Structure 1
Amino acid sequence: MTTTMPAEDAYAAFLAKKAMVDPPTGLADIPDLPSALFPFQRDIVRWSLKRGRAALFAGTGLGKTLMELAWGSAIHAAHGGMVLLFAPLAVSTQIIREAAKFGIPARLVRCQADCGPGINVTNYQKIEHFDLAEFIAVILDESSILKSETGKYRTDLIAVCSAVPFRLAATATPAPNDFMELGNHAEFLGVMSYTDMLSTFFTHDGGETQKWRLKGHAENDFWRWMASWSVMLRKPSDLGYEDGAYQLPALHQIHHTVEVPSLAPYLLGGRAATLQERIRARRESVDDRVAFAASITPTDRQFVWWCNLNSESEALAKAIPGAVEVRGSDRDDDKERKLVDFSEGRIRVLITKPSICGFGMNWQHCADTGFVGLNDSFEQIYQAVRRFWRFGQECEVTAHFIAAETEGAVVANIKRKEADAERMAAAMVLHTANITKGIINAQARDVAVYSPTMPMQIPNWLGAAA
């Protein structure tokens, strides 16, 4: 007689078949960790060490750098060998300073010959100068570099790190609907390939290849799977810890609409309606927006202006005395020198683009920034603002947003995307919080001391039986 497997059992078997084999490479015995770790950081590090290959999706300023360094130091303490930490340009220097601050040995390296036992820190741009087969562990700082499905760094990192036994990826909470980024992290860690993730948990919507949605019956399984190899949090209380010092100061977002001398005749009603019209309106209003930006730049404190167009950057550098421009065409060494100089207070006004410096830098020493022009990328704006508005910032942060009156609803679009992103990020954390709490909290070694003060009395019936 032929029996039919119940639908739920068939689906469980399907998931098991699709899951990639992920040998346990974690540590059974966790070495001592730095005392500087907060309780939530300590438990996350212990969990990721036991996991062996893990992702930390943690909000800006939650101490990902310290957790990365503690993780790498523990791997070296347990197994010896070399650990390689990749970071964005100029962030590597920042990480070395953080390591010294917490007493964790780390060296800045440019090629394989510079490396030695322990933690070695370099830039993603130098990946071809290293033989990853020689390293016991790899750490990706700002691992959102894996976002692009066909990006060069994504492809190279997944290929060259596939045989590295210990892997850690750390970035801010990913875009909630960007399943490509989640899939690429899973593939980098050897958990499941991006394509297998899609076929296992998602269904395709229509004819657009980038539009996928979770299968209704697979949603719980998907988040349980995510929580098995990653941890997501925006603040410590997401995992049941006290927020304590992790309270952000106020963020003041000031929107400025700049009038232009004559409205463009090609715009219906004088306002851009399409993307092409907005781009043209931005190009034609550069002089007006730059003049306004220069007029509101403070003269008594540090400031960063974010641009989208080279013409904006060049004009601002000329209009603001002493301002320093960081361009994509600069040599990597020059970019790094300028960013370090701003971080250490030697540059007062920095002018750059979110695509160049919007990821990884810790600029809590500065509380004023602005966008001389806006594009439609909410992610770039989100990341750029969070170079300043992050845990550890002691001052209220002010961010200026300048748009020409001809650009239409660009500010409204950004506000809408911001509200959508906040709502979806909260939902993502909520989905995994309950699962992750039990896993992460279980890593704590702190136990109540058993010190009985009352004598134990043996029941009469037990004594009689004896």
Structure 2
Amino acid sequence: RIVAERTGGKILIACPLGVTKQTINEASKLGVPVRYVRSQAEADAAPEALVISNYDMVIKGVFNPDRFTGIVLDESSKLKAFTSKTKRYLIEAFQRTPYKLACSATPSPNDTKELGNHAEFLDIMSSGEMLTRWFIRDSMNANEMRLKGHAIKDFWRWVTSWAVCINKPSDLDPEYSDEGYLLPDLDIHYELVEVPLDRLIADSADKKTNQLSMLPSINNSATTMFAEKRATLADRIARVAEIVRAHPDEPILIWHLTDAERDVIAREIPEALIVTGSQSMEEKTDRLEQFSDGRARIMATKPSIAGHGLNWQHCSRVIFSSMSHKFEEFWQAIGRSHRYGQKNEVHVHLVYAETEENIIRSIHDKWLKHNEMSEQMVKTMKESGLENDIKHQMQIDIERREMRTDRYHAVNCDAVEEIKALPDNHVHLSVSSWPFSDQYMYSANVRDFGNCDNDEDFFRQLDFLIPELLRVTVPGRVAVVHAKDRIVYGTKNSHGNMYIEPFSDKCIQAMVRHGWLYLGRITISTDVVRENTHTHRLTQTEMRKGGERMGIGMPEYGLIFRKLPTAGNGTMSDEPVTNTPEEYSLARWQIDANSHWRSSGDRLIYPWERDGYDYDDHIQHLEDLDEQGRLSRSSMSEPIPSDNPLVWWDIRRQDVLNGKVARANGDEKHICPLQLDFIRRCIERWSNKGDRVLDYFAGIMSVPVVAIETGRYGIGFELKPEYYDIGARYCHERAYEKELPTLFSMDEEC
């Protein structure tokens, strides 16, 4: 109303079927006239500034979005389905509409994409960008996303910058009275229908393993679930009829899922008014109004038809003849009766077979998540206030902290500011894992390199850091950048198809642009099976369905750069990295000089993995060959093996045409923090004992820790206080361990 008055434009309200009349009636109580319209011509001719229509009419395209100043989505859970026609139309059609309001009673707790769709509809942020900033794929289910633990507070603060969650007036201000806004009690009755023992036994054999179980396995498969519902149909509807007969004078609302249930309900409960999807819009509307007006005592329909928006406070007894895993649908259906204005305790009867107890547990778990999400949002809203721009809430200052000893220097600070304070030619080696542009947001501080909108912004930030890194590095010495290419999912681009962004190449270009010499890349082969648990890109099932869409695993890279030596020194560094044959054997060189590195793992192994690759054993074996005079000086005696089919490690390098050398890369998903053996090998390869080793994106100080362990001086800069606290403790522990006397050192002193 206010927008219409100030702009002189019209506002379109979109709502579910049957809700228009109730909305018009409720608005009239507030003195706000609203007109129901079914076409753009009717909307233009209406004297009222606010017009209303149902979603079916809006999606059909009968309205011209450009003719409206504002759009209101009543029951905006219509945006829920990530790829639905409704969601796509609403977002695209009203993209230019200046004023938008979305109202939803139940943002789905197990569908993180729904909040993203709301943000995209409101022009806050694309759903894909939201997912990449704050969410990570659930390793247990490639279809699901979960909120990253360290991002919970930042995410909800962002949500409260454009959304409010209100359960009662005091959620907005403690001084507001909650009188009249406290819902009556909700009493859930679990109506368990027993399954005959003979069918339990007959159905208990697992088709794959042939093993017996106490109950038939009812999973999330629609085929299996509905087969079980057909088997228990008669018994469940008989229980529904018993409940109806037990309450002969009360209005009763029956929710069902299938047409078969509807037919049996119509036969067993003749007085029930049936509302179906096949009925005309006029007939459906008339029947819904009959129940609303009290002309019909009992009504049966599906939640998909009448589960949103309608006000049936006159009915306090609700029966679900069937249950599914869809919590949002279930909760909305209850909300038709359990809502403000209801004067009686609401009784909800859940009728289900004993073979469907997992569905009840699923709904219960999602209910808890729903309450948790609502409480979290209200709490954050109270803490942060109702901000219009999340940037107003982001930090820019940071309290600098440091720990400095004769073995390490750890600093909680902004890397750009801190590196400026280092003297020229001070660092002998830097090893650092760069943030992956806008893919992860590590903190709410604007100094965080992850707080950027795109690659252009990210590398613009690095333009302040890279020249300083060059300045502080000893001439002729090395900088190692850990990176990998990025997966750009279909949700984050205009064409909806996944592709790989050559992010590592962009990192190389950024370093070279500021004067670094690029020496090559180390390919770190990792686990394609593990990556497969996080994405559908590599699954065998998807490969069989459409192999042309599938990619390969993602390797990690160690990108090697060198600062030019001082003029007059030729190719040698001002402070060369030197090693004796005892310190750095030929065998070690043959492995380290290869561009394909493997990790020893640094984890507990399964019994069947005991014969796996071991870096130290590989070196020892080659050293044994060298002692016997059998280690070749002209070619690699034993190439580094790979159990990854995407790494062709057994190619004969001499078998080439025109001197071209065959070459291929490995694969895997990024693992954070950086692997310790990778760090150790970099430090031992490109630094001397006593050298200063820097990580300007130190995280939990993995690089300084390994520097301490290998007799170097570790330097680490980290912006996030939580990471710094952990890392500083690790540095302290490693330094303390290095100071502890051993039995042999004590003997030498004696």
TM-score, normalised with respect to structure 1: 0.74
Q: Which residue in the other structure is 2:274 paired with? A: 325
In structure 2, the residue matched to 1:352 is 301
Counterpart AA for 2:42: D
User: Using the alignment, how far apart are the partners of 1:226 and 1:215 within structure 2?
Assistant: 15
- Inter-CA distance 425–113: structure 2 relative to 1 (3 Å threshold): same
Change (3 A) 1:202 1:283: same
Q: 1:223 to 1:411 in 2, by over 3 A?
A: closer
Asked if the contact 1:137/1:164 (under 8 Å) is kept, the reply is yes
- Structure 1 residue 199 corresponds to structure 2 residue 132: yes
What is the alpha-carbon distance in structure 2 between the residues aligned to residue 145 and residue 332 of structure 1?
19
CA distance in 2, matches of 1:179, 1:405: 30
Distance between the aligned counterparts of 1:392 and 1:120, measured in 2? 25
Q: Structure 1 residue 214: deviation in Å?
A: 3.5
- Name the CA distance, whole Å, in 2 between partners of 1:278 and 1:299: 32
Q: Give the letter aligned to residue 345 of structure 2.
A: E
Q: Is the 8 A contact 1:175 1:425 kept in 2?
A: no
Letter in 2 for 1:287: A
Other structure's SS at 2:351 match: strand
State the shift of 1:408 in Å: 4.3
Report the equivalent of 2:330.
381
Q: Which moved more, 1:356-365 or 1:191-200?
A: 191-200
CA RMSD in angstroms, aligned pairs only: 2.2
Relative to structure 1, is the Cα distance of residues 210 and 305 closer, same or farther in structure 2, using a 3 angstrom cutoff?
Answer: same
CA positional deviation for 1:340: 1.5
Distance 1:162 1:413, change over 3 A: closer
Q: Work out the CA distance in 2 between the residues paired with 1:357 and 1:249.
A: 22
User: Residue 235 of structure 2 corresponds to which residue in structure 1?
Assistant: 288
261 and 221 in structure 1: CA distance in 2 versus 1, 3 angstrom threshold: closer
Q: Deviations 1:243-286 (Å, cap 9, x if unpaired)?
A: 21111111111111223556414322663322255432321111
Partner of 1:252: 187
Unaligned runs of 5+ in 1: 1-72, 440-466
Aligned position for 1:232: 165
SS of 1:390's partner is: coil
Following the alignment from structure 1 to structure 2, what is the Cα–Cα distance between the partners of residues 114 and 84? Answer: 12
What's 1:120 paired with? 51
Within 5 Å, give how 1:123-272 maps onto structure 2. Answer: 123-127=54-58, 128-206=61-139, 210-239=143-172, 240=174, 241-260=176-195, 263-264=198-199, 265-268=201-204, 271-272=215-216
Number of the residue aligned with 1:108: 36
> Any idea what the Cα deviations from partners look like across 1:185-239, whole Å, max 9, x if unmatched?
1111111111122223333444955433334554433222211211112222223
Residues in 2 aligned to 1:423 and 1:191: alpha-carbon distance in whole angstroms: 24
Residue aligning to 2:434: none
**For the pair shown, which has the larger CA radius of gyration, 1 or 2?**
2
Shift of 1:291: 1.6
Residues 226, 345 of structure 1: CA spacing in aligned structure 2 closer, same or farther, 3 A cutoff? same
Residues 1:367 and 2:295 aligned together = no
Higher helix share: 1
Matched letter for residue 252 of structure 1: D
The structure-2 alpha-carbon separation of the partners of 1:296 and 1:415, relative to structure 1 and needing over 3 Å to count, comes to: same
Q: Matches of residues 405-444 of structure 1 in structure 2 within 5 Å?
A: 405-436=354-385
1:305–1:114 distance in 2 versus 1, CA, 3 Å: same
Deviation at 1:415, TM superposition (A): 2.7
TM value normalised by structure 2: 0.47
Number of the residue aligned with 1:45: none
Q: Percent identity among equivalent residues? A: 39
User: Is the partner of 1:337 in helix, strand or coil?
Assistant: helix
Mapped contact 1:278–1:408 kept (Cα < 8 A): no
- What secondary structure, in the 3-state scheme, does the structure 1 residue paired with 2:312 have? coil
Distance 1:124 1:272, change over 3 A: same
1:300 and 1:145, CA in 2 relative to 1: closer, same or farther beyond 3 A?
same
Moved more, 412-421 or 205-214: 205-214
Aligned counterpart, 1:274:
218
Structure 2 residue aligned with 1:57: none
Would the alpha carbon gap of residues 350 and 270 (structure 1) be closer, same or farther in structure 2, given more than 3 Å must change?
Answer: farther
User: CA contact under 8 A between 1:317 and 1:323: conserved in structure 2?
Assistant: yes
Is residue 311 of structure 1 aligned with residue 260 of structure 2?
Answer: yes
- Mapped partners of 2:387, 2:179: distance in 1: 21
SS in 2 for 1:100: helix
The residue number in structure 2 matching 1:7 is none
Deviation by residue 1:383-423 (Cα, 9 ceiling, x = unmatched): 11111111221111111111223434433333333233323
Q: 1:256 to 1:106 in 2, by over 3 A?
A: same
Distance in 2 (CA, whole Å) between partners of 1:259 and 1:208 is 32
Aligned pair in 2 of structure 1 residues 409, 242: CA closer, same or farther (>3 Å)?
same
Q: After superposition, where does 1:436-455 map in structure 2 within 5 Å?
A: 436=385
Instruction: Give secondary structure in 1 for the equivalent of 2:279.
Output: coil
Q: Tell me which of 75, 87, 90 is aligned to 2:15.
A: 87
- Secondary structure at the counterpart of residue 233 of structure 1: coil
- Look up the match of 1:460: none
Q: What's the secondary structure of 1:414's corresponding residue?
A: helix
Specify the alignment match of 2:353 in structure 1: 404
The letter of the residue matching 1:257 is L
CA displacement at 1:374 relative to structure 2: 1.5
Distance 1:208 1:154 in 2: 24
**Partner Cα separation in structure 1 for residue 273 and residue 376 of structure 2:** 40
Give the letter for the 2:7 counterpart: H
One-letter code aligned to 2:293: E
User: How many residues in Structure 1 have an aligned counterpart in Structure 2?
Assistant: 367
Query: Partners in 2 of 1:414 and 1:215 — Cα distance?
Result: 23
Specify the code of the residue in structure 1 equivalent to 2:81.
Answer: S
- In structure 2, give the amino acid aligned to 1:312: E
Determine whether 1:299 maps to 2:227. no
Q: Secondary structure at the match of 2:385?
A: helix
- Give unpaired runs (5+ residues) of structure 2: 205-212, 389-750
